[in-house]
Structure 1
Amino acid sequence: MPRFALKVEYHGKPFAGWQRQKDLPTVQSAVETALSRLEPGPHTIAAAGRTDAGVHGLGQVAHCDLKKDWDPYRLSEALNYHLKPDPVAIVACAQVADDWHARFTAIERQYLFRILVRRPPATLEAGQVWQLRNDLDLEAMQEAAQHLVGTHDFTTFRSTICQAKSPIKALDELRIERVAGFSGPEIHFHVRARSFLHNQVRSFVGTLERVGAGTWDPIDVKTALEARDRTACGPVCPGHGLYLARVGYPDPVFASDT
């Protein structure tokens, strides 16, 4: 049975997250339903990461096993036809080795978090950004973020329902920048690591926003980290500003990765 890697883009608003759930719409179930219209099922796909409700995908990666030796381009076109009208698209497809795994072969994940700074309500960007009415101090947030980079026990920034065996993770990058967005000034958080704990990125951003707003000092983030206590975390920001932007593998999978 040939195995195919799928790069999946989706708008998270209508979904209860990536992972299949009984009686709830999810991105995984949408893709599996589309696959069942191409070949008899059941189909079970595996993804690089399980995004939460409202979280978006720019470069989510999943794999599936099919009976037919599909041309990757035709497979992506057929899936996109059957995914309509769900806001899900297969933006790239490639045949991979039988032992290649979207989750376990991955060597890094990159997330993007978008904050829109403006007073009028967001219209075109509604549901795609976390909107704040007042600006943030980027220099203070970046200073605070440096306390989080490296290998740490991230219990403070881990959901109480996280199923990871260990709270110890290596954070490779947490970079913050200001950009000119389509609807106004935006602050982008670029977060990169091999793997993440449940709610880790949203906990980072919510906590750093408190620094940017002047409620916390940068050193308070170091104190919270060293507390290894979930109650020491700042607010967890909403999911609709978060995007799984890219998944990295030892060898390029899609033509766009080369």
Structure 2
Amino acid sequence: MRLALGIRYNGQAYDGWQSQPSGRTVQDKLEAALTKFTAQPIRTLCAGRTDAGVHALMQVVHFDTTARREPFSWMRGTNRFLPDDIAVQWAHPVPDEFHCRASALARRYVYVLSQSPVRPSLDSGRVGWSMHPLDGDAMRAAAALLVGQHDFSSFRASACQARSPVKDLRRIEITRIGNGERCRWHFEFEADAFLHHMIRNLMGSLLRVGRGDERPEWISQVLAARSRDAAAPTFSADGLYFMGPLYDAKWGLPDEATLQAGRAPYDGPP
């Protein structure tokens, strides 16, 4: 049978999602837990690889197994063998033609940023930080120039293995929570797919506009340049969360993973 799992994790302690010889990845921990639970080797595929320090609110994986368990048993049994900062949120049997990556219709991320004259402490590693006040209207004007189907080479890491730099960036929503010099910003991104480091590179450039170092129109110049050198440096991974992929309702996955159900609200750190 083929099974899909929804996974949530804090990425601070890990070298990203993808398995590495060090064993310090989310995939390594998940597969070890599944192997212990089923007493058979389990290999997983994920909807979107996350880098070191990046978190996930709903990573989706699938795998094939001969083990038979009830969905709640997959969740509870696997969580028994996982570290405290990784947890299976749901389990659902799916048809053999379901593929967590290829079947996804969209992917979503949120970047959580603390604007404060003092660096984060209790939430260190879970939020990005700007000591400078940010202009929300300027950042939204810049973000509007990024929405649509574009060549995002200027925001692509040199190690990116994507076949094409052209992506359909469908939505960017920028929300401020709180007033004064201390507040939170949420930057939500939705696209058909993302390039390696794309969001962190977009964040670096949006914040350059927000600080007043560049005008919003500068973003169009960066986009047109199709050169990584034209954009701002890659921003910190600390506040980046994979909100998860969205699928057609025909797969029967939970509402938060289906496109027709709408967008699940961000429910990360306060």
Common fold by TM > 0.5:
yes
Where does residue 15 of structure 1 map in the other structure?
14
Alignment-derived partner of residue 27 in structure 2: 28
Is contact 2:23–2:29 with CA below 8 Å preserved after alignment?
no
Does 2:215 correspond to 1:214? no
Which residue in 1 is equivalent to 2:203? 205
**1:1-258 paired onto structure 2 within 5 Å:** 2-85=1-84, 87-180=85-178, 185-251=183-249, 252-254=252-254, 257=257
Q: CA deviation at 1:121?
A: 3.0
**Equivalent-residue separation in structure 2 for 1:198 and 1:256 (angstroms):** 24
For the residue of structure 1 that corresponds to 2:111, the secondary structure is: strand
2:222 and 2:228 map into 1 onto residues whose CA distance is 9
Does 200-209 or 121-130 show the bigger shift?
A: 121-130
Q: How many residue pairs were aligned?
A: 254
AA in 1 matched with 2:168? A
The CA deviation string for residues 99-149 of structure 1, in whole angstroms up to 9 with x for no partner, is 211111111001000110112332221100011122200100110111111
Matched residue type, 2:52: A
**Percent identical residues:** 36
What displacement does 1:24 show? 4.0
Q: CA deviation at 1:42?
A: 2.6
Deviations for 1:191-233, whole angstroms, at most 9, x for unmatched residues?
0011111011111111000000011111111001000111001
What is the rounded CA distance, in whole Å, between the counterparts of 2:226 and 2:59 in structure 1?
A: 30
TM-score of the two chains, using structure 1 as the length reference: 0.95
User: Which runs of 5 or more residues in structure 2 are unaligned?
Assistant: 262-270
Q: Is contact 1:93-1:254 (8 Å) kept? A: no
Q: Using the TM superposition, give the Cα deviation of residue 41 of structure 1 relative to its aligned residue in structure 2, in angstroms.
A: 3.4
Paired AA for residue 68 in structure 1: A
State the one-letter code of the partner of 1:220: W
Whole-Å separation in 2 of the counterparts to 1:138 and 1:84: 38
* Alpha-carbon distance between aligned partners in 2 of 1:40 and 1:81, rounded to the nearest angstrom: 14
Letter in 1 for 2:58: G
Provide the secondary structure at the position in 2 that maps to 1:21.
Answer: coil
The whole-number CA distance in structure 2 between the counterparts of 1:143 and 1:255 is 31
Give distance in 1, aligned partners of 2:17 and 2:40: 19
**Residues 54-104 of structure 1: CA deviation (Å, up to 9, x unaligned):** 00000110012221221010110001111034x100011111112211111
Residues in 2 aligned to 1:143 and 1:84: alpha-carbon distance in whole angstroms:
42
SS at match of 1:201: helix
Give structure 1 stretches of 5+ with no counterpart. Answer: none
Q: CA 1:255/1:113 → structure 2, altered by over 3 Å: closer, same or farther?
A: closer
C-alpha RMSD of the superposition: 1.4
Q: In 2, Cα distance between the equivalents of 1:171 and 1:134?
A: 27
C-alpha distance in structure 2 between counterparts of 1:121 and 1:136, whole Å: 16
Q: TM-score, normalised by structure 2?
A: 0.91
